[in-house]
Amino acid sequence: RRAADWSELRPEWGLAGCRAFIAAPRGRTDGTSLSGRSFLHSYDWQADKGFGVLELILTAPVVVASWISLQYYGSTVAPDLFGGGNKLLHNVAGGIGVLEGNGGNLRPGLPWQSIHDGEGYQHDPLRLSVIVEAPREAMTDILSRHPAVRALFDNGWLHLIAMDGEGKLAWRYDRNLGWESMDGTPAAGHAMAAE
């Protein structure tokens, strides 16, 4: 009820604070408190012959999660430029945006009340970390075929991390289809993250 009610000042905080997107077997996060700050996607790469499901995950839910995360990010780091202003003063303009007050510019982002509770921010302005348990070469191949998705990682808007077969964060995508281990050494050959 509250989420659909325009009169609610703070209708929901469900997406504020999003920090990670995790695509791995559910057992990797089961029993772990992520404080509602992660998008969880159950995925088993060993059951994904040809990596079609992985491709779908990286090109659809990850992209949507990036839109959500970057909307919160922009509205937090530059609320005057990318935020939506004060929700109490919003006037819907032609179904394409809102004006703050009775005039001015269209406000593109989230209202102040969606990121701030009156005392502090409810969203930490962090770039979303996409954590996937899958072979690095499969992710690299998918990124090479989807330049718009690759650009999100190459330009630093999102971070891509490969989880190993034991559920440890093992490899970080290092732009230009390269990887480095989380201990700082560059990837050699075509090793798999989930070995």
Name residues of the chain where pLDDT drops below 50: 189-192, 195
Which residues does 157 contact at the CB level (< 8 Å), separation at least 6?
A: 66, 70, 127, 151
Residue 190, pLDDT score: 42
Residue 174 falls inside a structural domain: yes
Residue 119 falls inside a structural domain: no
Residue 152 falls inside a structural domain: yes
Number of compact structural domains in the chain? 1
Residue 104 falls inside a structural domain: no
Residue 79, pLDDT score: 92
Residue 102, pLDDT score: 83
Range(s) of the domain holding residue 160: 17-29+38-77+124-181
Residue 189, pLDDT score: 47
Residue 110 falls inside a structural domain: no
Residue 115 falls inside a structural domain: no
Residue 145, pLDDT score: 98
Q: How far apart are CA 134 and CA 127, in angstroms?
A: 21
Residue 131 falls inside a structural domain: yes
**Could you count the other beta carbons within 10 Å of the beta carbon of residue 85?**
22
Residue with the two structure tokens 């791995």:
24
Residue 112 falls inside a structural domain: no
Residue 9, pLDDT score: 65
Residue 101, pLDDT score: 85
Q: How far apart are CA 113 and CA 133, in angstroms?
A: 35
Residue 44, pLDDT score: 97
Task: Please give the helix or strand (H or E) that residue 21 lies within, else none.
Answer: strand 20-24
